[in-house]
Amino acid sequence: MSRPAPIVVEAEALVPRAAEWLTEALTRALAGGGRCSIALSGGKTTGPIYRQLAGKDLPWERVDFYFADERCVPPDHPESNYLLAEETLLRPLGIKREQVHRMEGEREDRDAAARDYEALLPPVLDVVVLGMGEDGHTASLFPGGSELQEKERRVLAVVGPKPPPWRLTLTLPVLSGARQALFVVSGAGKRDAVRRVLAGEDLPSARIAQAVWIMDRAAAGQ
Protein backbone atom coordinates (compact mmCIF):
# COMPACT_ATOMS: atom_id res chain seq x y z
CA MET A 1 0.00 0.00 0.00
CA SER A 2 1.40 3.39 -0.97
CA ARG A 3 1.57 5.95 1.80
CA PRO A 4 -0.67 9.03 1.37
CA ALA A 5 1.26 12.26 0.91
CA PRO A 6 1.60 14.10 4.24
CA ILE A 7 -0.46 17.22 4.88
CA VAL A 8 1.85 20.01 6.10
CA VAL A 9 0.30 23.08 7.73
CA GLU A 10 1.36 26.05 9.81
CA ALA A 11 1.52 25.38 13.55
CA GLU A 12 -1.66 27.31 14.30
CA ALA A 13 -3.59 25.33 11.67
CA LEU A 14 -2.61 21.88 12.96
CA VAL A 15 -5.38 21.45 15.54
CA PRO A 16 -8.27 22.72 13.40
CA ARG A 17 -7.07 20.72 10.37
CA ALA A 18 -6.85 17.51 12.41
CA ALA A 19 -10.29 18.10 13.94
CA GLU A 20 -11.69 18.69 10.47
CA TRP A 21 -10.13 15.47 9.17
CA LEU A 22 -11.56 13.46 12.06
CA THR A 23 -14.99 15.00 11.54
CA GLU A 24 -14.90 13.96 7.88
CA ALA A 25 -13.63 10.47 8.77
CA LEU A 26 -16.40 9.92 11.32
CA THR A 27 -18.98 11.26 8.87
CA ARG A 28 -17.83 8.70 6.30
CA ALA A 29 -17.94 5.91 8.87
CA LEU A 30 -21.47 6.89 9.94
CA ALA A 31 -22.82 7.33 6.42
CA GLY A 32 -24.51 3.94 6.32
CA GLY A 33 -26.72 4.80 9.26
CA GLY A 34 -25.14 2.36 11.71
CA ARG A 35 -22.61 2.79 14.50
CA CYS A 36 -18.91 3.51 14.15
CA SER A 37 -15.82 3.12 16.31
CA ILE A 38 -12.91 5.43 17.04
CA ALA A 39 -9.74 4.63 19.00
CA LEU A 40 -8.20 7.60 20.81
CA SER A 41 -4.60 8.30 21.80
CA GLY A 42 -3.05 10.56 24.42
CA GLY A 43 -0.33 13.16 23.99
CA LYS A 44 0.08 16.92 24.17
CA THR A 45 -1.50 17.60 20.79
CA THR A 46 -4.61 15.47 21.10
CA GLY A 47 -6.28 17.39 23.95
CA PRO A 48 -6.77 20.58 21.89
CA ILE A 49 -7.90 18.46 18.93
CA TYR A 50 -10.49 16.66 21.05
CA ARG A 51 -11.77 19.99 22.39
CA GLN A 52 -12.38 21.20 18.85
CA LEU A 53 -13.88 17.86 17.86
CA ALA A 54 -16.33 18.14 20.75
CA GLY A 55 -17.78 21.21 19.04
CA LYS A 56 -18.63 19.34 15.83
CA ASP A 57 -22.23 18.49 14.98
CA LEU A 58 -22.20 14.71 14.62
CA PRO A 59 -24.58 11.95 15.75
CA TRP A 60 -22.33 11.19 18.71
CA GLU A 61 -24.85 8.74 20.16
CA ARG A 62 -23.79 6.35 17.36
CA VAL A 63 -20.05 6.54 18.08
CA ASP A 64 -18.25 3.99 20.26
CA PHE A 65 -14.96 5.08 21.84
CA TYR A 66 -11.90 2.87 22.33
CA PHE A 67 -8.23 3.57 23.10
CA ALA A 68 -5.06 2.88 21.14
CA ASP A 69 -3.07 2.48 24.34
CA GLU A 70 -3.11 3.27 28.03
CA ARG A 71 -0.60 3.61 30.81
CA CYS A 72 -1.07 1.18 33.68
CA VAL A 73 -2.43 3.80 36.04
CA PRO A 74 -5.90 4.47 37.54
CA PRO A 75 -8.38 6.32 35.30
CA ASP A 76 -8.11 9.49 37.40
CA HIS A 77 -4.30 9.59 37.20
CA PRO A 78 -2.74 12.63 35.43
CA GLU A 79 -0.91 10.26 33.05
CA SER A 80 -4.12 8.45 32.02
CA ASN A 81 -5.07 8.71 28.35
CA TYR A 82 -8.64 8.00 29.39
CA LEU A 83 -8.65 11.01 31.74
CA LEU A 84 -7.44 13.26 28.92
CA ALA A 85 -10.22 12.05 26.62
CA GLU A 86 -12.80 12.27 29.40
CA GLU A 87 -11.96 15.88 30.18
CA THR A 88 -11.61 17.16 26.61
CA LEU A 89 -14.09 15.10 24.58
CA LEU A 90 -16.29 12.58 26.35
CA ARG A 91 -17.60 14.76 29.19
CA PRO A 92 -18.14 17.88 27.05
CA LEU A 93 -20.19 15.76 24.63
CA GLY A 94 -22.13 14.01 27.39
CA ILE A 95 -21.15 10.60 26.00
CA LYS A 96 -22.94 7.74 27.73
CA ARG A 97 -20.85 5.35 29.79
CA GLU A 98 -21.83 2.35 27.64
CA GLN A 99 -20.27 4.03 24.57
CA VAL A 100 -16.83 4.27 26.19
CA HIS A 101 -14.53 1.24 26.37
CA ARG A 102 -11.46 2.14 28.36
CA MET A 103 -8.39 0.01 28.91
CA GLU A 104 -8.27 -1.00 32.57
CA GLY A 105 -4.62 -0.25 33.06
CA GLU A 106 -4.93 -0.16 36.83
CA ARG A 107 -5.64 -3.90 37.10
CA GLU A 108 -2.99 -6.01 38.81
CA ASP A 109 -3.24 -8.76 36.19
CA ARG A 110 -2.22 -6.78 33.12
CA ASP A 111 -2.38 -9.73 30.74
CA ALA A 112 -5.97 -10.45 31.81
CA ALA A 113 -6.80 -6.77 31.27
CA ALA A 114 -5.33 -7.00 27.75
CA ARG A 115 -7.28 -10.16 26.92
CA ASP A 116 -10.49 -8.68 28.25
CA TYR A 117 -9.97 -5.63 26.06
CA GLU A 118 -9.48 -7.85 23.04
CA ALA A 119 -12.96 -9.20 23.67
CA LEU A 120 -14.41 -5.66 23.63
CA LEU A 121 -12.84 -4.57 20.35
CA PRO A 122 -14.88 -4.60 17.14
CA PRO A 123 -13.50 -6.76 14.31
CA VAL A 124 -12.22 -3.61 12.56
CA LEU A 125 -11.86 -0.09 13.94
CA ASP A 126 -13.34 2.63 11.74
CA VAL A 127 -11.06 5.49 12.84
CA VAL A 128 -7.81 5.59 14.81
CA VAL A 129 -6.05 8.70 16.15
CA LEU A 130 -2.29 8.29 16.57
CA GLY A 131 0.75 10.30 17.55
CA MET A 132 4.44 9.58 17.14
CA GLY A 133 7.31 9.85 19.60
CA GLU A 134 10.75 11.18 18.79
CA ASP A 135 11.94 7.56 18.54
CA GLY A 136 9.25 6.71 15.99
CA HIS A 137 6.99 4.81 18.38
CA THR A 138 3.22 4.96 18.16
CA ALA A 139 0.57 3.86 20.66
CA SER A 140 2.86 1.87 22.99
CA LEU A 141 4.71 0.06 20.21
CA PHE A 142 8.39 0.94 20.58
CA PRO A 143 11.32 0.36 18.19
CA GLY A 144 12.90 -3.04 18.67
CA GLY A 145 10.12 -4.38 20.89
CA SER A 146 9.05 -8.01 20.52
CA GLU A 147 5.43 -6.83 20.36
CA LEU A 148 6.12 -5.57 16.81
CA GLN A 149 6.25 -9.21 15.68
CA GLU A 150 2.85 -10.06 17.16
CA LYS A 151 0.42 -11.45 14.57
CA GLU A 152 -2.39 -12.99 16.64
CA ARG A 153 -2.94 -10.96 19.81
CA ARG A 154 -4.86 -7.69 19.38
CA VAL A 155 -3.94 -6.14 22.75
CA LEU A 156 -0.76 -6.61 24.77
CA ALA A 157 0.73 -5.48 28.06
CA VAL A 158 4.15 -4.02 27.28
CA VAL A 159 6.98 -2.15 28.99
CA GLY A 160 7.94 1.25 27.58
CA PRO A 161 11.19 3.21 28.06
CA LYS A 162 9.55 6.08 29.97
CA PRO A 163 7.68 6.07 33.29
CA PRO A 164 5.17 4.77 34.04
CA PRO A 165 6.73 1.80 32.21
CA TRP A 166 3.84 -0.66 31.94
CA ARG A 167 1.27 0.00 29.21
CA LEU A 168 -1.59 -1.70 27.43
CA THR A 169 -1.53 -1.26 23.66
CA LEU A 170 -3.34 -2.24 20.52
CA THR A 171 -1.07 -4.28 18.26
CA LEU A 172 -0.03 -3.66 14.68
CA PRO A 173 -2.65 -6.00 13.15
CA VAL A 174 -5.37 -3.84 14.73
CA LEU A 175 -3.83 -0.46 13.89
CA SER A 176 -2.80 -1.36 10.35
CA GLY A 177 -6.21 -2.92 9.77
CA ALA A 178 -8.20 0.18 10.75
CA ARG A 179 -10.33 1.62 7.96
CA GLN A 180 -9.05 5.17 8.55
CA ALA A 181 -6.03 6.26 10.59
CA LEU A 182 -4.57 9.68 11.34
CA PHE A 183 -1.13 10.64 12.63
CA VAL A 184 -0.86 14.12 14.13
CA VAL A 185 2.76 15.23 14.57
CA SER A 186 4.11 18.56 15.78
CA GLY A 187 7.39 20.15 16.77
CA ALA A 188 10.98 20.11 15.60
CA GLY A 189 11.76 17.27 17.98
CA LYS A 190 9.83 14.91 15.69
CA ARG A 191 11.58 16.04 12.50
CA ASP A 192 14.16 13.26 12.38
CA ALA A 193 11.56 10.55 13.01
CA VAL A 194 9.32 12.03 10.29
CA ARG A 195 12.26 11.98 7.88
CA ARG A 196 13.03 8.36 8.72
CA VAL A 197 9.42 7.25 8.31
CA LEU A 198 9.05 9.00 4.95
CA ALA A 199 12.40 7.54 3.86
CA GLY A 200 10.99 4.06 4.40
CA GLU A 201 12.77 3.04 7.60
CA ASP A 202 11.04 0.28 9.53
CA LEU A 203 9.89 2.28 12.54
CA PRO A 204 6.67 1.32 14.35
CA SER A 205 4.88 4.41 13.01
CA ALA A 206 5.83 3.46 9.46
CA ARG A 207 3.95 0.17 9.77
CA ILE A 208 0.54 1.91 9.65
CA ALA A 209 0.73 2.29 5.89
CA GLN A 210 -2.84 3.49 5.30
CA ALA A 211 -2.54 6.41 7.72
CA VAL A 212 -2.86 10.04 6.72
CA TRP A 213 -0.21 12.28 8.30
CA ILE A 214 -0.95 15.86 9.33
CA MET A 215 2.10 17.70 10.63
CA ASP A 216 3.28 21.24 11.22
CA ARG A 217 6.22 22.74 9.37
CA ALA A 218 8.55 22.30 12.32
CA ALA A 219 8.02 18.53 12.23
CA ALA A 220 8.09 18.36 8.43
CA GLY A 221 11.41 20.20 8.06
CA GLN A 222 12.45 20.39 4.40
Mean of the per-residue pLDDT values of the chain: 96
pLDDT digits (tens, 9 = 90+) for 60-79: 999 999 999 999 999 999 99
Q: How far is CA 39 from CA 49, 85, 125, in A?
A: 14, 11, 7
> How far is residue 85's CA from residue 98's CA, in Å, rounded to a whole number?
15
Query: What pLDDT is stored for residue 1 in this prediction?
Result: 58
Tell me the per-residue pLDDT of 79-137, one tens digit each, with 9 for 90 and over. Answer: 999 999 999 999 999 999 999 999 999 999 999 999 999 999 999 999 999 999 999 99
For domain 10-171+185-205+214-220, the CATH class is alpha beta
Q: What percent of the chain has pLDDT over 70?
A: 99
- pLDDT tens track for 180-210: 999 999 999 999 999 999 999 999 999 999 9
Give the pLDDT confidence of 4-61 residue by residue, as tens digits. 889 999 999 999 999 999 999 999 999 989 999 999 999 889 999 999 999 999 999 9
Say if strands 69-71 and 7-9 run parallel, antiparallel, or are unpaired.
Answer: unpaired
Neighbours of 105 (CB within 10 A): 27
DSSP state of 100: B
